Amino acid sequence: METEKLYYEDPYLQEFTARVLSCEPVKAGYAVTLDRTAFYPEGGGQPADHGTLGGAAVLDVHEKDGVVFHICENSVEIGEVSGAIDWARRFDHMQQHSGEHILSGILCRDHHCDNVGFHLGADTVTIDYNTDISWEQALAAEQKANAVIWTDAPVEITYPSREELAALAYRSKKELTGQVRIVTFPEADCCACCGTHIRRAGQVGLIKVLSVQKFREGVRMEILCGGRALRYLGQTYDQARAIGRQLSVKPQDTLFAVERMAAELAAVKQREAQLEEQVFFHIAEESAEKGDVLLFQSPMRPDGVRKLADTVARRCGGLAAVFAGEEPAYAYALVQSGGADISPLVKSLNAALHGRGGGRNGFAQGSVQARREEIASFFRTRQSK
């Protein structure tokens, strides 16, 4: 016996009573059938309802040949039972699904394309279209879709005859057989659909497009509607507000402030490089004609370590070894003036000081895990050989 589908008679029905016809143990729990149900089974891109049947949690719902199976955590007694659906979850699904129809109806009409995919996930909602749609075009459609929401027109659900259907221009993902259910959002969309929808356009609340990315022969668009859109925009605004507080600007002026900060940072980096060059020059002067030189520095950028070793090697006339960091983690650069091969030295250094790295033509760069005294001792031993 086919299950009577209360969710089509009244998609706002949250609680109902029904007769339990069967309850069979299955892999995920118990599969329960009823004479009638308000639980929407997964279909048309809309996920299944959750809720309770008697004292049992309903974890999943699916339909086969007109019969709705409620997958429950516990068994349910044959006889009368009361059911309650998780309304927050269902209403969210209705907001996303109806919003998707409005936006897809507008986009497919304006760009002569089809909606070829719809995914309503726990956090994300994506729609695939088989044509290229730019970000600006998506925002234009978003504007139109929200204008449709503000008309608050009633949603029309009809079951047209074959003849009526033949004369109707409607969207459909596949060839349909049997009775077709048509969901119409005036001014926006007319589409064959088996999902549950809000009563009036206004209940979608808000449609926001988050991204448009190339996908297969067209694009994948990420959207959020209603409560989800509000939560997302709220989080984003909170972040803009926190950034604005850090930068002492209004939340809507953060981009300008960040751009200004990036320009300031670039100028500071340039000045830092100039000062660094001067300091390196002085260090190199102090090392002039000293032969092999070992220098310890506070942490530096890797190219700074290399530059200092280079500058010193040009003046000292021997090996310039620079170790920059904090005990016991040092980055090192070795430069042999004259460019003689230092690979045997690097090999023994890495072995003695838990190091890694290498190089060629009188230059090597790497890091070690060693105390300052161990490093100094390594070079003293080397010199005395």
Location of structure tokens 């190199």:
284
Query: Rounded CA gap, 356 and 86, in Å?
Result: 58
Q: Is 225 in the site for Zn ion (CB under 5 A)?
A: no
Residue 109: count other Cβ atoms within 10 Å of its Cβ.
16
CA distances from 305 to 287, 324, 367 (A): 16, 7, 11
Nearest CB to Zn ion, comparing residues 62 and 314: 62
Q: How far is the CB of 262 from Zn ion (least distance, A)?
A: 45
Residues near Zn ion (CB under 5 A), total:
3
Query: Rounded CA gap, 321 and 319, in Å?
Result: 6
DSSP 218: E
**Backbone phi, psi, residue 115, to 5°:** -85, 115
Q: How far is the CB of 119 from Zn ion (least distance, A)?
A: 12
Name the token pair of 134: 């730019």
Largest CA distance in the chain: 103
Q: How far is the CB of 193 from Zn ion (least distance, A)?
A: 3
- Binding pattern to Zn ion, positions 25-44, x when CB under 5 A? -------------------x
Query: Rounded CA gap, 164 and 343, in Å?
Result: 85
Q: Is 195 in the site for Zn ion (CB under 5 A)?
A: yes
Q: How far is the CB of 46 from Zn ion (least distance, A)?
A: 7
Q: Which stretch binds Zn ion (CB under 5 A): 72-80, 122-130, 187-195, 324-332?
A: 187-195
Q: How far is the CB of 21 from Zn ion (least distance, A)?
A: 29
Identified binder of Zn ion from the candidate list 182, 193, 283, 331, rule CB under 5 A:
193
Nearest CB to Zn ion, comparing residues 193 and 201: 193
Nearest CB to Zn ion, comparing residues 44 and 154: 44
- 251: cis peptide before it, omega within 30°? no
Q: How far is the CB of 268 from Zn ion (least distance, A)?
A: 55
- 328: cis peptide before it, omega within 30°? yes
Q: Is 11 in the site for Zn ion (CB under 5 A)?
A: no
Nearest CB to Zn ion, comparing residues 195 and 318: 195
The residue whose Cβ lies closest to Zn ion is 193
Q: Is 206 in the site for Zn ion (CB under 5 A)?
A: no
Distance of CA 100 to the CA centre of its chain: 20
Binding footprint of Zn ion on the chain (CB under 5 A): 44, 193, 195
